[in-house]
Structure 1
Amino acid sequence: MKVSWRYLRIAVQLLCLGGFVLLFVLTEYRGKDQLAYPVSLLFRIDPLAALADALAPGSFGWSLLWPALLVVLLTFVLGRFFCGWICPLGTTLDGLGRVVGRGRGPVSAGWRRCKYYLLIFLVAAGFFGLQLFGLFDPLAIFLRTLTLSLYPAWNLIANGVFDRLYQNPVPFVSPLADRIYPFVDTYLLSFHPPAFTLAVLTLLVFFAIIALEKIERRFWCKNLCPLGALFGLCARHALLRREPVAPCADCSACLQQCRSGAVTDAGHRGGECLVCLDCEGFCPQGRVRWAWGRPRAGRGVNLSRRGLLTSLAAGMVLAPVAGVTPAVWQRHSYLLRPPGAVAEKEFQQRCIRCGECMKVCIGGALHPALLDAGPTGLWTPVLVPRIGYCEYNCTLCGQVCPTGAIRPLSLEEKHKTVIGIAVFDKNRCIPFARGEECLVCEEHCPTGEKAIVFDVRPVQVGDEERLVKLPRVVRRLCIGCGICETRCPVEGISPVRVTNEGESRRPFDPWA
């Protein structure tokens, strides 16, 4: 039974990782505007996502995030089981740690406090209006890396291989590829070839976390993960207990081999234990066992007063300083958010930076922000019309958002939701600047009654005066979908650009 616990845990880890990857693959347009599965389940069980939602303005999203509260309650009973058995980033570190090599460790015990200081800082900042959980949430990091980096690379490689086999047939291989491709294209490839602006940066962050394995096994989980710190606080008095508490005097096997460093000379630290149950297999005498019992007094987190006050003060000061900067749309008129996004301040407080909306966007319009939305908006979704457009009959981004940062919209609501308004630069637009007709923007405008119309007027071209159809935006009809900017044939910056003026999420805009 001792050995079977280890294999059972590995099987559960792989099953959970495969399940999350499957949900990720299902987060895709497959011909229908309604997703049949709860593809955002990974974040519905995420306590940090629930904490971010609780600290944001408005009511708590019970209907979406109640599973996260259930995970917290189970942690009080089972300990940090999520870290050892379910977390996809933890499973990835367990697997890739063997590839990159693991440090001999352990590092100084003081590093263990860092994750608690980080959690305190994030909670303090969130309480005062600055939500940064998504930057450090392991589940957001995992899914963000899949969305922005690995999935686009997979699509590029897969399409390249099938194209090469089609163009240069290989005996036996090409016929087999022809049979496989319909399945791969339907279920494993994206609706359009994805490409995102922060793909390299996102991958470098992921690589850095993996590289920390060279210092110590599960360095991220032990020392830096704020979700692990939250679970650690809940697990200190868990009902599932290790016996004996301290390592035996005649043996130190579990002391040396514990992956989480929870077994120490002073006793077992329940808040650090990942409940992997491997210590039963390490014990040569079979003395270690896990059993149910009454909660017992555990060792405290042992945070220094200076560190605690510094973390609190940093969060309390940074949040209001970030909050008194000018409104983003006053500094950046081309900042566009997805349709259904709540007001900007609340949006940044609710968005967990998971990338689900970017993954599911049909038109490839949503991309992660760098400094577009200010330094506090890193990795939040912005709509970039020159790269892609918001599909008129698509409501998927609101369906997958796990925290309500993007409200789910019906198709009728979507058609009336204004993201912004298109504006023409007459110095670069072909009809205005060259006196030549161009109908592209009007042809692609998707609104029932065209939001772009033409006025026939004379234009002076050299010594000749021509009657040319000049495009004009009908303000009351334009919703700012951006397809005119995407399809404009002028190279470089488009002469028709969508600004965030009049967006629906600003009901008090005097120009609306």
Structure 2
Amino acid sequence: MRGLRRVMQLFCLAGFLWLFVATEYRGLDEIPWPVSLLFRIDPLAALADAAAPGPFGWKLLWPALLILALTFVFGRFFCGWICPLGTSLDAASRLGLRPKGRKSPLRWRRLKYLLLFSLTGAALCGVQLFGWFDPLSIFLRGLTFSLYPLYNLLANGLFDFFYRHRLPLVSPALDAVYPFWRDHLMAFQQPAFDLALFTLLVFAGVLLLERWERRFWCRHLCPLGALLGICARHALVRRQPAEPCGGCSLCATQCRMGATDQDGHRQAECVRCLDCTTWCPAEKVRFGTGQAAGAGLDVGRRRVVVSLAAGAVAAPVIRLGPEPSRRNPYLLRPPGAVAEEEFLRRCIRCGECLKVCIGRALQPALFEAGGVGLWTPLLVARQGYCEYNCTLCGQVCPTGAIRSLTPQEKKAFVIGLAVIDRNTCLPYARGEECLVCEEHCPTPRKAIVFDRRQVLVAGEVKTVKQPRVLADRCIGCGICETRCPLDGVSAVRVVNEGESRRRRDVLG
């Protein structure tokens, strides 16, 4: 069974990595694979969605509820058999990040439960931060923002090097595989994200905790593990014997989760790796239905109440600041995004939409959307633009924070409004001809038109075409800002005025 579990871990990890690579534009405005499956089976994503306003996303998140139901039967099998971060931690331990014999106090295990209750209290009161600590989000963000861009850079460099420096056998072989590699295993464009280093440090920090204690993250900090542990506490399938057998104590010294010690076996901490069934020299250990016994972890009712209250009190304090869209006029969200308050409560910070963006317009937020907006997607038009015919970001969003739009709905969805700065725009500021913004405008009826004006340049009167934005036609795609030929700040910038997702009061 130990070998079967490892095969299952590798199979799930390979499957998730394949879906990750498939989350890419491959010539069609449609992704046929369930690329957001990793978060559709995520109970924390379901909990975040349940706490958000509006109806629950049954269509997207029913697999997460199935995982919870199976946990009531089999225990925390997800952590030991499926979770890609757990598999990465096991791999890191086997590859050299072995703990130095430290053993953390048992009370530290309460931290993950207290964190879960605090996050739940905050979510119920309007501030959703599950995505910061969700192990699946941490795993995918590390891939999307840091490791995948690095892989693409190295792969392109390798192919380019051997294309320019011909080496017998090697260069022809790489030339032969390059078309397949480019079309199926590499990004449409070289990815680059603002928070790549910060995100990598977070991911690496979780892995490096293995040096302190094996599966330190899973034992003490993971809120998803805490949620599954609560469901697994009285699971039907249990370890037998649950009490210490008085024999070799291998269970207590070798368990990767420290789920068994002199007090007995803790159901909520066991990830069903089944290693103990292999170690037991007397072959006493088995898993099956039986009488509930063993030790438990007493979090304490008072601590639970205090944690929920702390989250509930912190939420309104966090929300006391000014509305982010008013404080930052350049706060732009992907097309199809719901209203900002609901968006922040639904977004799980997974990075799927950023990876699939054709125009490389989406970047992870730091403080642009307020303190709770970390890692949420922003449209940064100077770096990239929203492709007029693309609807991919809504297709990959696992929680409904970005609605899936039809091509017709997408073309009518207003992201923002382009505004021209006459102090820097070439026709206004210098009297020089420039047609770039109008030429790139993708709307059938151009949202940027020209007014012919006579201006005085170097003592001479000349006629210049000066651009003007028609607000009723502009959808805020940002291509005018991206293509503006000025160095540094563009002469035309997109602001969040008139966006379709913003609710407006109608005065009767």
Equivalent position of 1:91 in the other structure: 87
> Within 5 Å, which residues of 2 pair with 1:246-261?
246-261=243-258
Q: 1:216 aligns with which of 210, 213, 218?
A: 213
Normalization by structure 2: what TM-score?
Answer: 0.98
Deviations 1:274-330 (A, max 9, x none): 100000111111111112235x25644312455334322320111111222211111
> Within 5 Å, which residues of 2 pair with 1:37-76?
37-76=33-72
The answer on 1:331 being equivalent to 2:311 is no
Find the aligned partners of 1:313 and 1:465 in 2 and give their Cα distance: 70
Asked if structure 2 preserves the Cα contact closer than 8 Å seen for 1:236 and 1:298, the reply is no
Asked if structure 2 preserves the Cα contact closer than 8 Å seen for 1:106 and 1:261, the reply is no
Equivalent position of 1:503 in the other structure: 499
Partner SS, residue 506 of structure 1: coil
The answer on 1:137 being equivalent to 2:134 is yes
Partner SS, residue 271 of structure 1: helix
Deviations 1:393-418 (A, max 9, x none): 00000000000000000000001000
Asked if structure 1 preserves the Cα contact closer than 8 Å seen for 2:333 and 2:377, the reply is yes
Equivalent position of 2:124 in the other structure: 127
> Within 5 Å, which residues of 2 pair with 1:36-435?
36-98=32-94, 99-293=96-290, 296=292, 299-305=295-301, 307-435=303-431
Equivalent position of 1:34 in the other structure: 30
Find the aligned partners of 2:358 and 2:258 in 1 and give their Cα distance: 45
Q: 1:465 aligns with which of 461, 467, 488?
A: 461
CA RMSD of aligned residues (A): 1.3
Instruction: Quote how far apart the aligned CAs of 1:101 are.
Output: 2.5
Find the aligned partners of 2:505 and 2:144 in 1 and give their Cα distance: 34
Find the aligned partners of 2:4 and 2:273 in 1 and give their Cα distance: 10
Asked if structure 2 preserves the Cα contact closer than 8 Å seen for 1:246 and 1:264, the reply is no
Q: 1:109 to 1:74 in 2, by over 3 A?
A: same
Instruction: Quote how far apart the aligned CAs of 1:362 are.
Output: 0.4
Find the aligned partners of 2:502 and 2:245 in 1 and give their Cα distance: 65
Deviations 1:179-222 (A, max 9, x none): 01001100011111110010000000001001100110000000
Asked if structure 1 preserves the Cα contact closer than 8 Å seen for 2:366 and 2:374, the reply is yes
Partner SS, residue 460 of structure 1: strand
Asked if structure 2 preserves the Cα contact closer than 8 Å seen for 1:13 and 1:86, the reply is yes
Could you list the runs of 5+ residues in structure 1 that have no partner in the other structure?
Answer: none
Find the aligned partners of 1:300 and 1:171 in 2 and give their Cα distance: 64
Partner SS, residue 321 of structure 1: helix
Find the aligned partners of 2:216 and 2:490 in 1 and give their Cα distance: 47
Normalization by structure 1: what TM-score?
Answer: 0.97
Asked if structure 2 preserves the Cα contact closer than 8 Å seen for 1:105 and 1:217, the reply is no
Asked if structure 2 preserves the Cα contact closer than 8 Å seen for 1:247 and 1:255, the reply is no
Find the aligned partners of 1:58 and 1:442 in 2 and give their Cα distance: 40
Asked if structure 2 preserves the Cα contact closer than 8 Å seen for 1:102 and 1:216, the reply is yes
Count residues in correspondence. Answer: 506
Opposite residue 227 of structure 1, the aligned amino acid is: L
Find the aligned partners of 2:165 and 2:425 in 1 and give their Cα distance: 43
Partner SS, residue 100 of structure 1: coil
Q: 1:486 to 1:509 in 2, by over 3 A?
A: farther
Equivalent position of 2:482 in the other structure: 486
Equivalent position of 1:438 in the other structure: 434
Asked if structure 2 preserves the Cα contact closer than 8 Å seen for 1:502 and 1:509, the reply is no
Asked if structure 2 preserves the Cα contact closer than 8 Å seen for 1:103 and 1:217, the reply is no
Instruction: Quote how far apart the aligned CAs of 1:507 are.
Output: 3.6
Partner SS, residue 367 of structure 2: coil
Q: 1:509 to 1:318 in 2, by over 3 A?
A: same
Q: What is the aligned-residue identity percentage? A: 63
Partner SS, residue 267 of structure 2: coil
Find the aligned partners of 1:491 and 1:310 in 2 and give their Cα distance: 53
Find the aligned partners of 1:8 and 1:358 in 2 and give their Cα distance: 35
Instruction: Quote how far apart the aligned CAs of 1:97 are.
Output: 1.9
Asked if structure 2 preserves the Cα contact closer than 8 Å seen for 1:129 and 1:349, the reply is yes
